[in-house]
Structure 1
Amino acid sequence: MNAFTELLAAGPTVLDGAMATELEAAGVPMHESLWSAAAIASAPERISAVHTAYLDAGARVIETNTYQATTLGLTDAGAQPGQARGLIRDAAELATLAVEEWTDENPGRRALVAGSIGPFGAYLSDGSEYTGAYELTDTEYRAFHVERLNALDEMGVDVLAVETMPKLSEARAVAGLIADETSRPAWVSFQVRREADSLVLADGTAVAEAARWAQSADVVAAVGVNCVEPGLVCPALREIAAHTDKPLVCYPNSGEAWDARGRRWLPDDAGVDWDRLVPQWLGLGARLIGGCCRTSPRDTARIAAAMG
């Protein structure tokens, strides 16, 4: 049993929340295509501060700021290939150092680092991680993801977070790559939507099919959904749990919708009723619960309180 599976076996665990939201609040500009990944070079101290804020709020797993940090995206933005790989390692180091400093200040408490692996759609920077409107071969997916994956593995992250996956084909390719290239566990979380009376991945694949695949994939230690509106979490977890007995993961966004053309989040004033929803998610088998886009350490503290 590895550190991540041990953590989940010990009971429900709190995951962190959005990085870009907090960086923007601190005045860090977002890059048009790299988004928060640009801050690895421009504002590393702010990234460290966000990691620490989530740990102080109750998160026991924090993600590296590498969701949109790929060698292809970084080189497109002007970095040399070696610099791009170095920036991904730097992001992992920032998270690791934040955990080390926090645990030094909080003896007896433990936290882990998850290496964030976003989909090819995030690189496209056109909102297609919410639609799955792209198609690569297994070989092409592997070529796109391999250098980020290897950099995170080299830096010793505890688990790999394969997240916001809109396509089962891409999730399969990345999980296969992880199994071939590392000895680390992964969680896979999908982007899902309603279609008539059923739930499907963003590209139309049945959630049930994705859950059955996760059950059969040894490298997948946990499976679930992320960056969905909170109201989708319960039906998604029910459907996934019907086809796998693996621990479930959920970290919804704030309920706001992403406007890809305007490159902005459309406000939703309702907020998230964490006190009501978190116990429901726990009851459905969720063992890793956090927030995604537009959530903050304040939300993390409410999640932690609701988990008891």
Structure 2
Amino acid sequence: MHIALSPVFQALETSARERIMILDGAMGTQIQSLHLAEEDYAGTASGHVCRHHTDHPQKGNNDLLILTQPKALEEIHFDFAMAGADIVETNTFSATTIAQADYGLQAAVPDLNAEGARIVRRALDRATAIDGKPRYVAGAVGPTNRTASLSPDVS
């Protein structure tokens, strides 16, 4: 059975066969360098208030910045692209219902993932408009802080 590959996948595969592709850098470190406060995470300082209201503290919820600090994230992605990254990951490492439960934001997960991809695509399109170099978006999903084991003894 032959599966037709998308034009984007074909272009990525061709590029990967021709040269070493560069993945972006450490997103968390870049976010830390912004020195954001609770108000920045929650969006009350920027006016990008998250429509998924919660009474939980949000500082440290880097994924929420997709909705509350989209311009800051777009600039980080853009900087990675201009520094030479061919593939840039979404800021969705913890955009799962399991991880967002710690912040009371399970309902925001679809918005986080969709908008996270849009932000990266905008940043990469800007970079490509400058230098003509194609770039690719990769979704990022990290581990959760919950075990998948049914056993009370995970060892």
Same fold at TM > 0.5: yes
Relative distance call for 1:75 and 1:85 in structure 2 (3 A) is: farther
Task: Give the equivalent residue in structure 1 for 2:122.
Answer: 97
Q: Is the 8 A contact 1:44 1:94 kept in 2?
A: yes
Q: Distance in 2 between matches of 1:47 and 1:106?
A: 21
Counterparts of 1:136 and 1:102 in 2: how far apart (Å)?
Answer: 43
CA distance in 2, matches of 1:4, 1:28: 35
Q: Distance in 2 between matches of 1:28 and 1:102?
A: 26
Structure 2 residue runs of 5 or longer lacking an equivalent are 42-57
Q: Deviations over 1:100-120 (max 9, x none)?
A: 12112222x111000012123
Structure having the larger proportion of residues in strand: 1
Mapping of residues 213-228 of structure 1, within 5 Å: none
Equivalent-residue separation in structure 2 for 1:63 and 1:18 (angstroms): 10
Q: 1:16 to 1:80 in 2, by over 3 A?
A: closer
Partners of 2:97 and 2:15 in 1: CA distance = 31
Encode CA deviations 1:31-70: one digit per residue, 9 max, x unaligned: 5663x21311221111101001111111111000011111
Deviation at 1:76, TM superposition (A): 3.9
Residues 199-214 of structure 1 mapped to structure 2, 5 A cutoff: none
Separation in 2, partners of 1:57, 1:105 = 13
**Count of residues paired in the alignment:** 125
Partner of 2:36: 28
Matched, 1:111 2:119: no
8 Å CA contact 1:37–1:68 kept in 2: the answer is yes
5+ unaligned residues in a row in structure 1: which ranges? Answer: 125-133, 138-202, 204-308
Equivalent residue in structure 2 for 1:64, among 64, 82, 90? 90
Summarize the Cα distance change of 1:23–1:78 in structure 2 as closer, same or farther, 3 Å threshold.
same
Q: Which aligned runs of 4 or more in structure 1 are off by greater than 3 angstroms?
A: 29-34, 134-137
Q: Distance in 1 between matches of 2:106 and 2:22?
A: 36
Pick from 22, 45, 52 the counterpart of residue 71 of structure 2. Answer: 45
Q: Could you say which residue in structure 2 is the equivalent of 1:7?
A: 15
CA distance in 2, matches of 1:101, 1:113: 13
Provide the residue aligned with 1:198 in structure 2. Answer: none
Instruction: Provide the rounded CA distance (Å) in 2 between the counterparts of 1:24 and 1:98.
Output: 20
Q: Report how far residue 12 of structure 1 moved.
A: 0.4
Structure-1-length-normalised TM-score? 0.37
8 Å CA contact 1:75, 1:84 repeated in 2: no
Alpha-carbon RMSD:
2.5
Q: Distance in 2 between matches of 1:15 and 1:47?
A: 16
Secondary structure at 1:13 match in 2: coil
What does residue range 167-246 of structure 1 map to in structure 2 within 5 Å? none
User: What's the TM-score once normalised by structure 2's chain length?
Assistant: 0.69
Share of identical aligned residues, percent? 26
Cα distance between partner residues in 1 of 2:31 and 2:102: 22
Question: Given the superposition, is the C-alpha separation of residues 136 and 96 from structure 1 closer, same or farther in structure 2, using an over 3 Å criterion?
Answer: farther
Superposed, 1:99-178 pairs within 5 Å as 99-107=124-132, 109-120=133-144, 123-124=145-146, 134-136=147-149
Q: AA paired with 1:111?
A: R
The residue that corresponds to 1:218 in the other structure is none
- Whether the 8 Å CA contact 1:103–1:111 is kept in 2: the answer is yes
